[in-house]
């Protein structure tokens, strides 16, 4: 109860109005969901796993969840059309391996775990794997470490979410024709990350 109130206050300070049903849905973020579309590359159960992972990382708050903007479907299409055959196999094997690791730890596959179990499991993977190196002008400008399957997957989930039209147009700063460049302006409550660049 305490945490829920604190979260509600945080969201109000951030300028969002939060409904009770939204808050309720926060607690169902890390929980099983069924895939409602036909994957090209993943099996139905792999798609379910991916959806659960994506919504655990990016649950519904005052802004949509990952699956509600089709991140799972985007990733399936991306893997189908962009990845090489080898990379596609690595991807589906990676999902299976992640699921097996979860089953080894919790006795259940990822999608069947409780929200807390899912959160804790992914946190462990996150803390254990190097981040992406800083990148500028088409080159790495730093070194981190070997990139794990989880890191690459998380990157794809974040990218699929924030480059979606729903998020870009409605929740980020959507300024396709800025008209000017202001180099130093105050950050306000209304400041948002731009949709591009």
Instruction: Spell out the residues 6+ positions from residue 53 whose beta carbon is closer than 8 angstroms to its own.
Output: 98, 110, 118, 122, 153, 157
CB 59 within 8 A of CB 30: yes
* Count of residues near another protein by CB under 8 A: 73
CA proximity to 47, closest of 4, 19, 24, 79: 79
Q: Please state the closest distance from residue 151 (CB atom) to another protein, in A.
A: 7
Determine the longest span between alpha carbons in the chain, in angstroms. Answer: 56
Least distance (Å) between residue 129 CB and another protein:
8
- Does 165 bind another protein (CB under 8 A)? Our answer is yes
Asked if 39 is part of the footprint of another protein (rule: CB under 8 A), the reply reads no
Q: Which residues of 101-134 are buried (b: 16+ CB within 10 A; e: fewer)?
A: ebeeebeebbbbbebebbbebbeebeeebeeeee
One of 8, 33, 94, 158 touching another protein (CB under 8 A): 158
Per-residue mark of binding to another protein, 73-112 (x: CB under 8 A): -x---x--xxxx--x-------------------------
Closest CA to 42 of 98, 104, 102: 98
Q: Considering the rule CB under 8 A, would residue 59 count as an interface residue with another protein? A: yes
Site pattern 107..146 for another protein (x: CB under 8 A): ------------x--xx--xx---xx-x-xxxxxxxxx--
Residue 167 and residue 161 in contact, taking contact as beta carbons nearer than 8 Å: yes
Nearest to another protein of 104, 116 (CB atom)? 116
CB 101 within 8 A of CB 122: no
Question: Is residue 62 a contact residue for another protein (CB under 8 A)?
Answer: yes
Select from 26, 47, 52, 95 the one that contacts another protein (CB under 8 A).
Answer: 26
Q: Which of 42, 47, 52, 57 binds another protein (CB under 8 A)?
A: 57
Tell me the window of 37-45, 90-98, 99-107, 154-162 that interacts with another protein (CB under 8 A). 154-162
Measured between alpha carbons, how far is 23 from 59 in angstroms, rounded to an integer?
Answer: 11
Q: How far is the CB of 36 from another protein (least distance, A)?
A: 20
């Amino acid at each position: 109860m305490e945490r829920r109130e604190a979260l509600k206050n945080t969201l109000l300070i951030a300028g969002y109005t939060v409904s009770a049903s939204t808050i309720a849905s926060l607690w169902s973020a890390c929980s099983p969901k069924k895939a409602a579309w036909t994957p090209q590359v993943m099996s139905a159960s792999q798609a379910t796993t991916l959806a659960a992972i994506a919504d655990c990382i990016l649950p519904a708050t005052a802004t949509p969840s990952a699956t509600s903007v089709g991140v799972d479907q985007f990733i399936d299409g991306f893997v189908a059309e962009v990845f090489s055959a080898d990379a596609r196999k690595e991807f589906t094997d990676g999902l299976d391996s992640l699921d097996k690791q979860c089953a080894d730890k919790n006795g259940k596959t990822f999608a069947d775990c409780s929200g807390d179990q899912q959160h804790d499991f992914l946190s462990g993977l996150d803390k254990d794997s190097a981040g992406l190196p800083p990148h500028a002008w088409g080159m790495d400008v730093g070194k981190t470490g070997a990139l794990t399957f989880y890191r690459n997957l998380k990157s794809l989930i974040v990218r699929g979410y924030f480059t979606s039209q729903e998020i870009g147009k409605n929740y980020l700063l959507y300024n396709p024709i800025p008209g000017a460049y202001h180099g130093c302006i105050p950050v306000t409550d209304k400041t948002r990350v731009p949709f591009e660049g």
